[in-house]
Structures are given as C-alpha cells and as structure tokens.
A and B are shown apart, each in its own frame.
Chain A
C-alpha cells in the first residue's frame, strides 16, 4: 500500500504526460504481483470503491480527534478526506503495520457495510503514514483523480517490454485483476494471455489530418469519402458467449466499456459482428447536437427518461468481424460491401449506414467539407464536421498507419476575443502566464461590457507567449488567488484570435455558451480591444436546436 501511495502522491503533482509515464513504468517494473495488478485496476477504473461517504469519514474521525481541533483544521485544509488523512492520530512509525494493497482490495471487494467499513478503515489508517492515509481515502471514495487515463496506465505496462497499448487493449476486456498473465506477457516471460472473451476490443484504425502537401500526392480514384460525424467513435460487438446465450458490448474509441450507459442500443444487438461507427443522438431520423450526446456520456447507468429524450443510435462505417470471421485483413472496398449488406439485413432501428460521398475530384470534396449540402449532406449537414478519406485498398490496421486514412475537417470557427484573466501554466509553462480566459463584447446595463466566453492555454508561439506574459505582469488590475485579472478596456488590452470547433449552450457560463476545443491562433497586435467580436456573432453559430434552449 505504501508504494502505491507514494506513486499516487507523485502522480498527483506531476503535470507532464511523459513524467507520469516514467513514474508509472518505474512502479510497474519494481512493484511485485499481485500488488501492481491491483494498482493497474484502480488506475484504469476496472476496480472502483465507494465505501467512504463523507458521513463515514466524519464519524470515524469524531471518535479520535477533538471536534474543535478538527473543525479548525478542516477549515484550513478545505478537503475533508485530506484533513482526515492528515489529522488521524496514528501510532508511532515503529508500531505501524501498513496493510498490503492486495489485502485492502480483497477486503473492500467483499463489500463490507456500515460499522464493518468503519472498523476496517480505522485499522488501516492506524497502519499508514500521511501519504498512505491520503491514498487509502482516495481509494475508498471513488475515482483516484491523479490525471492518469486508462490508456496511459496501459501504455506504461506496455513499456515494460515490446508491446504497444493497442496490443494490451485487444486482450484487456478478457482479463481481470490482478492481471498477472498480462504482466508476464508484457515482460516477455509468457505468451499472449488466452481469454475466452467473445467480444474483445479491437483497437481502432485512426486517420491523419489531411495536409495541403498530402493532397497533391493522392489520386482521387484510390479513395472513398465519407462524412465525418460530430459524435463519438464507438465499436459495437456482439457474439455468442462460451456458456450459451450472447454477449454484447459497446466500446469507446479508447477501449472503455460503455455498455451500461446504452441499454437502448446494446440490448438489441442480435447479430454476431463487430461494427465501427459513430455514436449519435438521433430523433426522428435527424442527428442532434453534440451537447445532447454529451448528456448520455460518462454515466454508469441511465434513466428511462433520458433514454426517451436522448435516444442513441449508431451510424456504421466499417465492419471488422462477421460471424466469427476477422474482416480486418480485407481491403476497405470489400469490407464496405459486406457492411452495406449487413446493415440492410439486420434492419435495426438504431443502426444505419454512413453513406459514401461520391466525388469526382478533391476540389468538389473540399467545397463540400465546408458546405455538406453541396454533396448530398442533406438535413444532417449541421452534424457533419468534415469528410474522411479512406484508401480503397487498405486493410483495417490498428493505430494510425501513414497514408491510409485522412480526416479533412471543416475549418474551425474563429473569433477575436479580449484577454481578461491569466493564470500561470503548468510544467514547462509554469513560469509563464499562459492560461487565458477571454471575452467578447455584449450590451450590458451600463453600455458595452466584456463577458468571458472561454479559456485556452495552447496554440501560441513562444514569442507571443512571452509578450502576453509581459503584458499580464505589467497590467494586472486584480488578483484572485493564482488568477490575475488584466486590463481589458476598449483601448487597453490584448486581442487574441481564438479557433474552436463549435459551441454548446451552457448554463454554467455567464455568457450562456461554451466553446468546444478552443485554442489560440495568434495575438492580434493589429487590433484594439473594442474591435473584438460581439456575443451575438457567437450566438448565431449555435445549432438551431440549442439556440432556443
């Protein structure tokens, strides 16, 4: 437990991906089985415990600590579990006996309740130091939140040997903690683990962004084009289970099992196949905005009401396996033909075909990318964010192979906004004011005022960053903790050109909108703040269904 605690402690303050990866790989290389396997399960979210509600923690600490001292401390620290971890009056170090991680996991998995939980926790807290107690309480309050994705943890395991994270993803869902066979495989001590999972995740084939230079080297005849939908990429798999019956699963692009959140789709997979497609919310045949889809994501369960108001559907664009046969080695054209036949045969009300976009030359496609209506985009044009180019002869290859698939996205929206607040960045940018909140003009009760519309921290050149950094330091008008408010008047301030992929309606923001993927394009030295854009310009970009909301 102490080693895992030290890892979590270090991860929680390490900002960089590479730094985190090095810490993880070092841990997996040196920690023994089965502890490292349980650590991997916690980091990937395969295991999750929620035994300690705030009331449990409060009751626990009330038995050990003077209530006045606890309240003063809680006031100071702010976070309840951290306060408990720090204030816990543990025995002297020499008398402590740290519980091993596998033991903690085993006992938690037995799902103790009420007094039994409190007793277990108290015993463990007594055996740990501050960092150990903090980590234990993180472990039992659900979600480690140390900035490590499941993918990053798997990449670290892969880094023990010659594997890739994709290799691990293919077997992942057939394995369970503590993953001893996985570690043995990763370290080259054993072969690929054999699983009896009939519906494993197949790492998706990904596309490169199409650059101007790519285009001249490509022959339009070698490529098929599809719309790029504004949903999320999913893999839908169904197959007979070894013990009889059938197994269905819906995976996100990263291999996360999201089956439980989509019973409306998955429950009716009565085929034996693996589909690659886009998950969308579709009402009466019309694709809804991404923000509607978002309400269906990141849920463990889903209410009947939400199922009805936000019905999910899959728009299929590839077929990876059919009746037990792996189709991935086949060329795209062949898979496409099989896909079309398959989708027509199953007649599933929530699965349809993503159509091919016929085109004669790239010029026509380029025009359609910005205005899908030009090439049969139809009434779903608002849900199209560009086109995909797929080489007709290409097999389905996991990862991002060169030269096979391209995404050609619609140009982002751009807006000129005024810098309002700045904060220091993290990692290599921690000496720069490099996180910016920016706003646009609207008519307020006392005339024109700036209202924040977004926050972004990357995209600028080092020169621009340094210039803004100097401006922030010289024009700070207010400080809120680490945040500096900078001068933003009609004639004094900086104008930033911001690119973004779209807008969502948001009640959490004062402006009522939230930008998707905002990033900085450049510092508009040629513009004065009063020349920046107005909120009405942005509101006009909202999808029709959101505009009225």
Chain B
C-alpha cells in the first residue's frame, strides 16, 4: 500500500507520517473522526480532530470527557500534521459528517467515511474532492440498491397515515441522522403536527435543533400509548418489535432504512411499511462518486466490497478491498450479516 499515505493497522486506517488514525476501532493516541456514529466515533482517544458538530455529538453520547483533547476543524481549512496536509470536506451522511483529505507532495488521498449523494435537509451536502486515491465505504455496494427519493417514501408514510388514521404510525429510525432526516422530510412535505419521540431519540434531536436544523414541534412519548392513535412516533429500530411498542395497541410498524429494499429483510424486521430511506450512497451513488473523484486507485473499506471492486476493475481502476471488520451500518446490521444475507 505504498501508493497512499495510509496503511491498515490493527485499530484501522493509520497515517504513519502524521501519526494519526482515522475512525479507529480502539483507543489510540491521535484520531481523526469522520462522523458521530458509534462504530466510527469511539470514546477514549488521546486526541480527536473532527468537525465541531461531530465533537458535539460525541460529547452528547459519551460525556464531555470522551477524549483527552479535542480540536474542531472547519470544513475546507487545511492543517499540516507531520508534513501531511489534512482537511475535512462534507460527506452528506449525518450532521457534521466529513470526508478526510490528505496530501503529501501533491498526491491526494481522500477517506470518504460514510456518505450519501441524496439531498438531506439536516446536513451539508457531499462535496466531491478530486484525488488520486479514494477510500470509499460500500455499505450498499450491490446494484440491487438504488434508493428512491426520500420525499417519495415520506409520501407513502403520509398516505398510510391518511388511510389508517386511527393507528399510531411507529417509525423505527436510528437515533443519529435517520430520525432527524425523517422528521425534516416530514416537515418538508407539510406535516406540521407534533412528532412524538422515544426517549432514546430526544437528546440528539435537541442537538440537531441547537445546530439550527429545523425539526418543528417534538414531544416525548413518555407514558403515553393509545392516545397517540393517528400520530407519528419515532423510536430506535430495535424498539419496533419490542415490548415498548405494545403500549400503542395495533400500530403500523414503519422501518426507515436502505435495507428495506430487500423484502425478506423487511419481513424479518416485522416492518409493515418499509421505507427505503438511507444515509448511505446507493450503488449508482458509489459508482458516480468514484468516477467523479478522478482517482486511479480505490480502496473499499466496509460493506459489499466484492461487487464494487469488480466494477472498478471493469473501469480500469486499481481497486482492492480492505476487508476491514468492526464497522457496521448504523442500523445495527453487522458486516458479516450483510455479506451472507438472508436466503
């Protein structure tokens, strides 16, 4: 791996010249964090460099002492660390999510972190960064994954609410990113009633609102249950089919995730209304982004690497899977699961 500035170490991607890791899986001396999801942003590093929003998210999740030292880097501003130029560029994944650009002697490497190309009212859009080596995620790295516009999926939710106006619509959405995006898209579609939140979503919704993301009226579910008939309630995906959901009587169970594209998965999750809303690039997004960066070398970090590496080969690009383990997607499907899949 001499063509880049990074190598694969035990804790993940490591830049020897700069002496830092990117999204390390275990505590390290110096870390650059792309975004706040737990599998990328872990507590206990000596020093963390990230966007201000990501630092705020980490503090909200782990407490203010989550790292020895923190430094917020404004997107687009270039630092030099041990002779390596470092800058952050929006990734469009969740609030504060960034790609990491590294340059040494005119050769540029970009680590994508998690990213998407669809518009998202809750975070800055993905910024294509020209580079020589592009290190990309591949969560939805199969051509069966093409995400429809989120607006259309939200339309399906509202149509169901109109038809089943006496049932609570319980939406399973991950606490960081997906929940706020679903709320913002609902607001964008003109839904202005209060949206009710499971306790696990409240802190991050408040954090988003404090960062200027308009989410409209939000209320805690608290002890309420059947009186929320006909309302939209958001909860973590795991609560959809758990005991907590019983309080709503016979809710319509809605799951918002890119995995909902595959029917067997939606069925297994007990989703009655699967919405294909994802914060990751779909297949077309991955391919288009690789082309757009102009990179001649592509490393694929996590997800369905095989298909994307195959595609890169067909484009005449030098591509290899990094076979990194330990990164899931935020809906909690471990990487090994995503590869074997349901049969």
Q: Within 8 Å of chain B (Cβ to Cβ): is A86?
A: yes
**Measured between alpha carbons, how far is A427 from B306 in the docked complex, in Å?**
37
A73-B307, A76-B304 known; A431+B241 contact, CB < 8 A: yes
B143 touching A75, Cβ below 8 Å: no
Which of B144, B145, B163 contacts A22 (CB under 8 A)? Answer: B163
A15-B272, A424-B241, A431-B243 known; A83+B144 contact, CB < 8 A: yes
Q: In the complex, which residue of chain B has the Cβ closest to the Cβ of A89? A: B143
Q: Within 8 Å of chain A (Cβ to Cβ): is B314?
A: yes
A72 touching B304, Cβ below 8 Å: yes
A76 touching B341, Cβ below 8 Å: yes
Q: Within 8 Å of chain B (Cβ to Cβ): is A69?
A: yes
- From B51-59, B118-126, B258-266, the one touching the partner chain is B258-266
A22-B164, A424-B241, A431-B242 known; A78+B264 contact, CB < 8 A: yes
Which residues on B sit within 8 Å (CB–CB) of A69?
Answer: 142-143, 307, 310-311
A13 touching B267, Cβ below 8 Å: yes
B143 touching A430, Cβ below 8 Å: no
A14 touching B272, Cβ below 8 Å: yes
Q: Within 8 Å of chain B (Cβ to Cβ): is A79?
A: yes
**Measured between alpha carbons, how far is A69 from B286 in the docked complex, in Å?**
14
B143 touching A427, Cβ below 8 Å: no
Q: Within 8 Å of chain B (Cβ to Cβ): is A98?
A: no
A23-B163, A424-B241 known; A431+B307 contact, CB < 8 A: no
**Measured between alpha carbons, how far is A347 from B63 in the docked complex, in Å?**
90
Give the Cβ gap from B39 to chain A, nearest Cβ, in Å: 21
Give the Cβ gap from A481 to chain B, nearest Cβ, in Å: 7
A residues with CB within 8 A of B: 6, 10, 12-16, 19, 22-23, 26, 65-66, 68-69, 72-73, 75-79, 82-83, 86-87, 89, 129-130, 134, 424, 426-428, 430-431, 481-482
Q: Within 8 Å of chain A (Cβ to Cβ): is B273?
A: yes
A430-B270, A481-B268 known; A82+B262 contact, CB < 8 A: yes
Q: 21 interchain pairs (CB within 8 A)?
A: A6-B156, A13-B267, A14-B272, A15-B272, A68-B310, A69-B307, A72-B142, A72-B306, A73-B142, A78-B341, A79-B263, A79-B264, A86-B144, A86-B145, A86-B146, A86-B261, A87-B143, A424-B270, A428-B250, A430-B245, A431-B245
A82-B262, A86-B261 known; A16+B250 contact, CB < 8 A: yes
A13-B271, A428-B249 known; A77+B144 contact, CB < 8 A: yes
Give the Cβ gap from A4 to chain B, nearest Cβ, in Å: 15
Which residues on B sit within 8 Å (CB–CB) of A16?
Answer: 250
Q: In the complex, which residue of chain A has the Cβ closest to the Cβ of B239? A: A431
B250 touching A72, Cβ below 8 Å: no
**Measured between alpha carbons, how far is A77 from B339 in the docked complex, in Å?**
10
A78 touching B343, Cβ below 8 Å: yes
Q: Within 8 Å of chain A (Cβ to Cβ): is B274?
A: yes
Q: How many residue pairs between the two chains, A and B, have CB atoms under 8 Å in the bound complex?
A: 96
Q: Within 8 Å of chain A (Cβ to Cβ): is B326?
A: no
Q: Within 8 Å of chain A (Cβ to Cβ): is B190?
A: no
B270 touching A72, Cβ below 8 Å: no
Apart from the given pairs A69-B310, A431-B242, A431-B244, 14 other A-B contacts in the complex at a CB distance below 8 Å: A10-B160, A19-B272, A22-B163, A69-B142, A72-B304, A73-B144, A76-B144, A76-B339, A77-B264, A78-B341, A89-B143, A427-B250, A430-B253, A481-B342
Which residues on A sit within 8 Å (CB–CB) of B230?
Answer: none
Q: Within 8 Å of chain A (Cβ to Cβ): is B148?
A: yes
**Measured between alpha carbons, how far is A431 from B143 in the docked complex, in Å?**
33
Q: In the complex, which residue of chain B has the Cβ closest to the Cβ of A129? A: B148
B residues 327-343 in Cβ contact with A at 8 Å: 339, 341-343
Give the Cβ gap from B232 to chain A, nearest Cβ, in Å: 17
**Measured between alpha carbons, how far is A130 from B284 in the docked complex, in Å?**
14
Give the Cβ gap from B40 to chain A, nearest Cβ, in Å: 24
Q: What are the nearest 5 A-B pairs in CB distance? A: A86-B144, A76-B341, A430-B270, A73-B144, A78-B343
B253 touching A77, Cβ below 8 Å: no
Q: In the complex, which residue of chain B has the Cβ closest to the Cβ of A23? A: B163
A69-B142, A86-B144 known; A19+B164 contact, CB < 8 A: yes
Q: Within 8 Å of chain A (Cβ to Cβ): is B246?
A: yes
Which of B148, B264, B310 contacts A130 (CB under 8 A)? Answer: B148
Against A, the Cβ 8 Å flags (1 = close, 0 = not) of B133-166 are 0000000001111101000000010001001100
B residues 289-343 in Cβ contact with A at 8 Å: 304, 306-307, 310-311, 314, 339, 341-343
Q: In the complex, which residue of chain B has the Cβ closest to the Cβ of A131? A: B148
Which residues on B sit within 8 Å (CB–CB) of A22?
Answer: 163-164
Q: In the complex, which residue of chain B has the Cβ closest to the Cβ of A482? A: B268
A12 touching B268, Cβ below 8 Å: no
**Measured between alpha carbons, how far is A10 from B157 in the docked complex, in Å?**
11
Which of B143, B148, B164, B240 contacts A73 (CB under 8 A)? Answer: B143
Which residues on A sit within 8 Å (CB–CB) of B262?
Answer: 76-77, 82, 86
B163 touching A26, Cβ below 8 Å: yes
Give the Cβ gap from A13 to chain B, nearest Cβ, in Å: 5
Q: In the complex, which residue of chain A has the Cβ closest to the Cβ of B276? A: A130
Which residues on B sit within 8 Å (CB–CB) of A430?
Answer: 240-241, 245, 253, 270
Which residues on A sit within 8 Å (CB–CB) of B253?
Answer: 430
Give the Cβ gap from B159 to chain A, nearest Cβ, in Å: 9
Give the Cβ gap from B185 to chain A, nearest Cβ, in Å: 18
Q: In the complex, which residue of chain A has the Cβ closest to the Cβ of B264? A: A78
**Measured between alpha carbons, how far is A75 from B164 in the docked complex, in Å?**
36
Which residues on A sit within 8 Å (CB–CB) of B314?
Answer: 66
Q: In the complex, which residue of chain A has the Cβ closest to the Cβ of B307? A: A72
Which residues on B sit within 8 Å (CB–CB) of A65?
Answer: 143
Give the Cβ gap from A98 to chain B, nearest Cβ, in Å: 14
Which residues on A sit within 8 Å (CB–CB) of B164?
Answer: 19, 22
Give the Cβ gap from B28 to chain A, nearest Cβ, in Å: 33
**Measured between alpha carbons, how far is A482 from B337 in the docked complex, in Å?**
13
Q: In the complex, which residue of chain B has the Cβ closest to the Cβ of A25? A: B163
Q: In the complex, which residue of chain A has the Cβ closest to the Cβ of B253? A: A430
Which residues on B sit within 8 Å (CB–CB) of A129?
Answer: 148
A82 touching B272, Cβ below 8 Å: no
Which of A15, A66, A87 contacts B144 (CB under 8 A)? Answer: A87
Which residues on B sit within 8 Å (CB–CB) of A13?
Answer: 263, 266-267, 271-274
**Measured between alpha carbons, how far is A531 from B2 in the docked complex, in Å?**
69
Give the Cβ gap from B245 to chain A, nearest Cβ, in Å: 5
Q: In the complex, which residue of chain B has the Cβ closest to the Cβ of A426? A: B270
Which residues on B sit within 8 Å (CB–CB) of A83?
Answer: 144
**Measured between alpha carbons, how far is A134 from B144 in the docked complex, in Å?**
12
**Measured between alpha carbons, how far is A518 from B53 in the docked complex, in Å?**
57
B263 touching A82, Cβ below 8 Å: yes
Give the Cβ gap from B105 to chain A, nearest Cβ, in Å: 37
**Measured between alpha carbons, how far is A86 from B164 in the docked complex, in Å?**
28
Q: In the complex, which residue of chain A has the Cβ closest to the Cβ of B249? A: A428
Give the Cβ gap from B175 to chain A, nearest Cβ, in Å: 20
Which residues on A sit within 8 Å (CB–CB) of B249?
Answer: 428
Give the Cβ gap from B83 to chain A, nearest Cβ, in Å: 40
Give the Cβ gap from B18 to chain A, nearest Cβ, in Å: 36
Give the Cβ gap from B335 to chain A, nearest Cβ, in Å: 13
Q: In the complex, which residue of chain B has the Cβ closest to the Cβ of A82? A: B263
Give the Cβ gap from B92 to chain A, nearest Cβ, in Å: 21
Which residues on B sit within 8 Å (CB–CB) of A481?
Answer: 268, 342
Give the Cβ gap from B272 to chain A, nearest Cβ, in Å: 5
Which residues on B sit within 8 Å (CB–CB) of A431?
Answer: 241-246
Which residues on A sit within 8 Å (CB–CB) of B310?
Answer: 66, 68-69, 72
Which residues on A sit within 8 Å (CB–CB) of B243?
Answer: 431
Against A, the Cβ 8 Å flags (1 = close, 0 = not) of B93-136 are 00000000000000000000000000000000000000000000
